């Protein structure tokens, strides 16, 4: 039985393994704790897992150690959770294994059963409809891809030891909501590099227009001008509801950033700028990011609207895993 840190709440649904679909097993009752000394606190209850049967381990890969390392990477930030790898079984498809994990939380009696399929490449699992990075270092590939390709404006460190890449859409209400978190992260993690990547979604008609403006603002005024512009656009987000309103909102934001709106508007229609926005969208899709705002912390996906203290806890944990200064 291994202690791990996780809360399987919807607020951290984008934190990689939280994509999994959990099946609640029959609840098991924990025997009453022995009477404690009057001055001592009662020990916290914890679920009792059934004994592991060696016959349930018929597949040689992944190993139990790899599964444990994967879960520790994903769930290591909250010491209230415990888990046990219950089975790693062969399936009818060569190279694909079925993994069963039992999970619980200190202080609660319920046990949840988690099932997923481990693929033959050793780097992915299938959980429900999702394909999720797997292995002892599940975020390493995404981290390397982001270090190479995330080229949006940034604040903080020029170094990429702790890199947070925010994929956002200027017309997305949740992205507007997330900006309070992003501003706090810039203060609490002064050694981090915080990058903004445009990810305009097709359901938001003016999002690509705003993204193109933002690229030109960064090109003409640098990162400082960009973040002034971005703040103004999010603040006036209701103005993006119509094409005319979007033009007024974006021009006003460009002015606040100290730039000439006419020059920004002309730049925003150029093929070079359109291609840059498209490349940022492709990067998001290549990383299997399906919604905004998504924050990638050294390759680890988290919803940027996660309650701040939980978000901060996850980021600090990931930085510790990667040996990155905070």
Listed by start position, the domains of the chain span: 2-138, 141-321
Say how far residue 88 (Cα) sits from the centre of its chain: 27
Does residue 299 come out as left (phi exceeding 0), alpha (psi in the -120 to 50 range) or beta?
left
| Averaged pLDDT for residues 58-67 | 97
Task: Tell me if the domain spanning 141-321 has CATH number 3.40.30.10.
Answer: yes
What is the pTM assigned to this prediction? 0.85
For 34-65, the DSSP string reads PPPPTTSPPPPP---PPPPPGGGB---SS-HH
pLDDT exceeds 60 at position 66? yes
Degrees to nearest 5, angle at CA 306 with 2 and 119: 50
pLDDT exceeds 80 at position 208? yes
- Specify the pLDDT at position 126: 96
Bigger pLDDT: 17 or 245?
A: 245
| Averaged pLDDT for residues 28-32 | 33
pLDDT exceeds 60 at position 181? yes
- Specify the pLDDT at position 47: 86
Confidence of residue 36 (pLDDT cuts 50, 70, 90): very low
pLDDT exceeds 50 at position 87? yes
Neighbours of 9 (CB within 10 A): 12
- Specify the pLDDT at position 326: 85
Q: What is the mean pLDDT of the chain?
A: 88
Percent of the chain with pLDDT over 90: 80
**DSSP code of residue 29:** P
- Specify the pLDDT at position 107: 87
Degrees to nearest 5, angle at CA 85 with 83 and 88: 160
Q: Are 292 and 168 in contact (CB under 8 A)?
A: yes
pLDDT exceeds 50 at position 31? no
Confidence of residue 325 (pLDDT cuts 50, 70, 90): confident
CA 280/CA 244 separation, integer angstroms:
25
| Averaged pLDDT for residues 119-133 | 93
pLDDT exceeds 60 at position 18? no
- Specify the pLDDT at position 43: 57
Confidence of residue 26 (pLDDT cuts 50, 70, 90): very low
- Specify the pLDDT at position 129: 87
pLDDT for 274-317, tens place per residue? 999 999 999 999 999 999 999 999 999 999 999 999 999 999 99
- Specify the pLDDT at position 24: 31
Percent of the chain with pLDDT over 70: 87
- Specify the pLDDT at position 311: 97
Say how far residue 80 (Cα) sits from the centre of its chain: 21
pLDDT exceeds 60 at position 29? no
Bigger pLDDT: 70 or 109?
A: 70
């Amino acid at each position: 039985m291994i202690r791990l840190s996780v809360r399987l709440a919807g607020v951290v649904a984008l934190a990689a393994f939280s994509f999994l679909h959990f099946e609640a097993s029959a609840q098991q009752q924990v025997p009453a704790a022995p009477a404690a000394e009057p001055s001592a606190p009662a020990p916290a209850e914890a679920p009792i897992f059934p004994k592991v049967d060696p016959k349930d381990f018929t597949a040689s890969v992944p190993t139990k150690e790899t599964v444990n390392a994967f879960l520790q990477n994903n769930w290591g930030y909250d010491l209230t959770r415990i888990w046990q790898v219950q089975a790693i079984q062969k399936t009818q498809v060569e190279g694909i294994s079925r993994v069963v994990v039992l999970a619980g939380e200190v202080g609660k009696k319920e046990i949840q059963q988690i099932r997923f399929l481990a693929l033959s490449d050793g780097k992915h699992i299938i959980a429900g409809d999702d394909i999720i990075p797997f292995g002892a270092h599940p975020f390493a590939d995404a981290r390397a891809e982001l270090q190479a390709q995330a080229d949006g404006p940034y604040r903080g460190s020029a170094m990429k030891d702790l890199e947070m890449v925010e994929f956002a859409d200027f017309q997305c209400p949740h992205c507007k909501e997330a900006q309070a978190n992003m501003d706090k992260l810039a203060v609490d993690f002064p050694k981090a590099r915080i990058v903004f990547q445009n990810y305009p979604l097709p359901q938001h008609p003016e999002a690509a227009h705003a993204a193109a403006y933002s690229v030109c603002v960064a090109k003409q005024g640098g990162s400082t001008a960009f973040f002034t512009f971005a703040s103004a656009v999010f603040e006036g987000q209701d103005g993006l509801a119509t094409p005319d309103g979007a033009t007024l909102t974006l021009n006003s934001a460009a002015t606040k950033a100290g730039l000439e709106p006419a020059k920004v508007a002309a730049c925003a229609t150029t093929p070079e700028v359109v291609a840059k926005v498209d490349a940022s969208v492709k990067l998001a899709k290549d990383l299997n990011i399906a919604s905004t705002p998504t924050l990638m912390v050294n390759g680890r996906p988290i919803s940027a609207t996660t309650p701040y203290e939980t978000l901060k806890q996850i980021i600090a944990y990931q930085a510790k895993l990667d040996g990155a200064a905070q």
